[in-house]
Structures are given as structure tokens and as C-alpha cells.
Structure 1
Amino acid sequence: MTDFVATSLARRLFARMQDTHERRRISVFAGPPGVGKTTTIDEFVRRRPGEVVVVKVSRRNAGEILVMQHTLEALSPLTGCSPHPSHMAIWSLRRRLFEATRAWAGGDAALASETSSAIGGDPRRTVIFDEAQNLSREVIEALRYWNDGDRCYAPMPLGLIFVGNNEFSLAGGPSQCVISAAVADRALYLQTFDYEDIADEDLKLFIDARGGVEGDAVEAILRSLRIQRAPRSFRRLSDLLDDLEREAGARCVSADDVRRHFALA
């Protein structure tokens, strides 16, 4: 797992996820690869142990059954509930997920029912769907009922956070936006990030966190990236630093190393 660096974008995303969790709401975030979305999710989960679970579905246009199966698998280590049979019908999966969320919140899964929760206190539990561009519009619409205060599928409303890449369009008309009007109306945050949200100070923070780069070399890297108009991707920056460190050997990366690297690139 990549170490967390508190860039300005990461701080904003973290604060919005925290707000969503505390208020048990729905939020939707989109942004291109390499801006720190997943590392921010990992840090958020680390700071809220047992309260947040991450579900990542790799199959494109995933439907409700597959997503519920993955959610049950993600909850299994926290609840002790056994994994589901792959052949379960949708209503059986919903029942199993209801029981799992009850156990996750501190209730008795054996007493689970849609009419009685018997969960002590006022627990906050949130499911984060990373790589949410793989979820179908229909499944996101179905998932909102796990947050709905009136017709909730869960024993208490779950916070729901959807985080996707730049394919996860939050703009345009009904045929373009990946979420329905009902989900958008309920969303606490509906936000798109971009590479332009990464400032020079964020890149400096990332480089300083890696270490082994002289101050003049940091400025040389930033100048070269501006000249190239390269996307401000932390993943690409990490690859660049790997190359520079290999070329520098045992010593710190210097400005001359940076200039030489970009002259040969």
C-alpha cells in the first residue's frame, strides 16, 4: 500500500468522506487515476477501524447480485458471518446482507428481521465502493435503499461512498450521468476532481515524503513537469522518482540528475 501523503486534494476528500460517515449519507466522487483517491480511502479506513469497509468490483457494469456478493465478502472478516453460496437468489442475498450489517453494527445476527433491529447505541457504518465506474447505474440506484431512512434494506442506514475514475461521469443529462436523479438528490457530496487540483505544493509534499531528493532537484522536477505539461499524477511522479533514484545510485538526486534525465527522455 502506498504511504498516505496529506495533499490538498487528499485532505478535501478525507474531510468529505468523514462528513458522509458521521451523517450516514451518500456521497459520490470522481477523478482521474493517480491523484490519490485510493490511498486516501486506505487512510480513512485505517483511522476508522471496524466502522468502514471497502468494496471493489472489477467486472464492468456489475449488477446487484455480484455487488452484494462482494460486499458480503468484504464484511466477513469484521462480522464472522460465513461467505455466501455463489448461487443465492437476490432476496436471499439481501437477507444475508441484512444479517451481516446487523452483526457489523453490534447487533445479534441470529435475531435479524426487517422489523426489529435491537442494535445498541447509534453506530456509524459506511461502505465505500472503490472503482465505482464498474457499477451499473441500476445497481447504484438499488444500493441507495441501504441508506434510505424510510425504506432501508439495512437494520440502520449505512453511509455509502462511491469513488470512481474519470469514466465515472457526474455531469451531463440522464444518459451520461452514472447516477440517477434520486441518488443525486440524496447525495451529500457530488464532486469531480481533476489533475489541475494538484498544486505544486502537493507535488513537493509527495517528493519530500519519498526523501532522497535535493531541494534544487525538487524545483527542477517541477519546472520540467510544467514545461512538458504532464498530467499531475502521483503514480507517474512515483515512477519518475524511481528512475531518478536508480540513475543517482547511492547519493541523493541532484538538479543535474533531473536535467540529464529529461534531456534523454
Structure 2
Amino acid sequence: MHAAHDRRRIAVFSGPPGIGKTTAIDALCREIPDGAVVVKVARRNAREVLVLQHVLDAVRRLAGSPSVHFPSSLWELRNDIFSTICGWAGAEPAAARRAEYQVADFPKLTLVFDEAQNLSREAIESLRYWNDADRCYAPFPLGLVFVGNNEFSLQTDLDGRSVISAAVADRALYVQTFDYGDVTDDDIRLYLEASGIVDEGALGALIGHVNERRSSRSFRRIQDLVEELTETAAGKPATVEAVRELLALGC
């Protein structure tokens, strides 16, 4: 995600629930709070107009704009997004349209589409024009990061076409699908240690338990274990005995 942002490129990431997608998005936004915004569309097969309305809302929040009007025409939406981004970047829209600014002079801005499986092929295809270096819809190429479920990048419509078109895939810096098998023991150890579990015996017992139940390599399920262990330990440091007591309960 950082690489896509730094290079003003497109990236597509997909994976099952609980593998850390939203956690990664949150980390990116914490690290570049003035340069990354999250766009989340709940409606399935969302078309371009609805998606751009959500984009406009996101960039307005970033720019601190108080406007609450959302046009329903594509031309107005594109114009409002262009102007809002110019305001955020400190550029004059008319001068930006005349290409009086150098791209390198603009700050970097990345749109992160969470739950991207809800976007239609049409919407994703249109969004690439906000990234194109030549005749971009924005005053400068926007980084685009699409993050969806584990079927997102391979998902096809009724005509058998992938949601990610060849044109988008060709422009993408990354098109990568993850699964639970990509979660290593070291990843789980780091997650547990970050959650305050440092006893070697407790760490070993928890990692061993996760390895016995491959489906539980979801970080969401691991977090459930951490919370249940915290309750079992009753405020005391988590030990291997506390883990064994927890697992004996069938967690």
C-alpha cells in the first residue's frame, strides 16, 4: 500500500475475513493521515455515480470542506472532486486544468477502497482514469488501492468477465491474493506479543492451538482468544497454565 501511494499507482489486494486487510488499511491511514482516505461502499455492484459520490465525500472530509451537496451527474461529480482535490493541494482549479502545475509539485493522495468487491466492473474501470498519467480526471494521478474479499480479484460477472479488467491489472503495481496459509507462526507471535502476551509457554501453547485448527488463523479469531485469555487470567500475566485452562473450556 505504501509503495502504491509513493509511486501514485494502483494496487489490488484480496483475502478472506480476519486476515488483516482492515488492520493494514488503518495502519496506512495512521502513517499518512493527510495523504490517504478510505472509501467504503456498502451497496453491491455499485455503479460509477454512487462510487464517485463516496469519493467526493471522502476527499471533502480530507480537505475539511463543509459542503454536503452530492451531484447525481457524472460531469458535476468529476468537476467537484477535481476542485476539492485542488483545494486540498493548494492549487487553483483553472490553472490545474491548463496543466500549469508539475505533477511532482503536488502532494500524493491515495484512495483506499475497502470492501472493493462491492464495486462494479464499470466503476473500477472508470476509476483508473483518475490514476492515468496522461489526461487524468484529477489534477494529478491518484493512488488507488482496492481491498476486497478472497474472491474479489477473480470475481466474474454474468458474461464471465473479471471485475478487474485487463487495463486495470496492467496498470497495477500489485494484484495479490492472500489466504490463511500466508499467516505464519511469526505473524501470530507478533500479534500476541502486541496484545500483551509475552510468556513463552503461553505463546507456544496458543500458537500450537492455532496450528491444530487451521481455520482459526484469522486474526479476528485470535483476538477472541486473547480477550478470553485476559478474562481467564483475571488481570494477572497470561501464563501457560491460564492458556491450558482456557483451551480446556473448548475455546
| TM-score, with length taken from structure 2 | 0.90
Q: How does 1:57-206 map to 2 (within 5 A)?
A: 57-109=41-93, 111=94, 114-116=97-99, 118=101, 121-170=105-154, 175=160, 177-206=162-191
Aligned residues of 2:53 and 2:71 also touching (Cα < 8 A)? no
Percent pairwise identity: 50
2:112 is paired with a residue whose SS is strand
Distance in 2 (alpha carbons) for counterparts of 1:42 and 1:86: 26
Distance in 1 (alpha carbons) for counterparts of 2:102 and 2:38: 22
2:55 is paired with a residue whose SS is helix
What do you get for the CA RMSD once the two structures are aligned? 2.2
Distance in 1 (alpha carbons) for counterparts of 2:122 and 2:109: 23
Distance 1:113 1:19, change over 3 A: closer
Amino acid at match of 2:240: A
- In the comparison of the two structures, how many residue pairs are matched? 248
Distance 1:74 1:200, change over 3 A: same
Distance 1:147 1:87, change over 3 A: closer
1:88 is paired with a residue whose SS is coil
Distance 1:226 1:143, change over 3 A: same
Distance in 1 (alpha carbons) for counterparts of 2:52 and 2:214: 42
Distance in 2 (alpha carbons) for counterparts of 1:96 and 1:46: 26
Distance in 2 (alpha carbons) for counterparts of 1:46 and 1:147: 23
Long gaps (5+) in structure 2: none
Listed one character per residue, the Cα deviations across residues 80-106 of structure 1 (whole Å, up to 9, x for unaligned) are 334352453111111111111222222
Aligned residues of 1:63 and 1:139 also touching (Cα < 8 A)? yes
Distance in 1 (alpha carbons) for counterparts of 2:193 and 2:7: 35
1:235 is paired with a residue whose SS is helix
Distance 1:117 1:200, change over 3 A: same
Aligned residues of 1:69 and 1:84 also touching (Cα < 8 A)? no
Alignment pair present for 1:263 and 2:210: no
Aligned residues of 2:15 and 2:148 also touching (Cα < 8 A)? yes
1:85 is paired with a residue whose SS is coil
Aligned residues of 1:98 and 1:112 also touching (Cα < 8 A)? no
| TM-score, with length taken from structure 1 | 0.85
**Which stretch of structure 1 is more off in the superposition, 243-252 or 181-190?**
243-252
Q: CA deviation at 1:19?
A: 1.5
Listed one character per residue, the Cα deviations across residues 46-67 of structure 1 (whole Å, up to 9, x for unaligned) are 2223112111111111111111
Aligned residues of 1:147 and 1:160 also touching (Cα < 8 A)? yes
Q: 1:216 is matched with which residue?
A: 201
Distance in 2 (alpha carbons) for counterparts of 1:152 and 1:87: 20
Aligned residues of 2:197 and 2:203 also touching (Cα < 8 A)? no
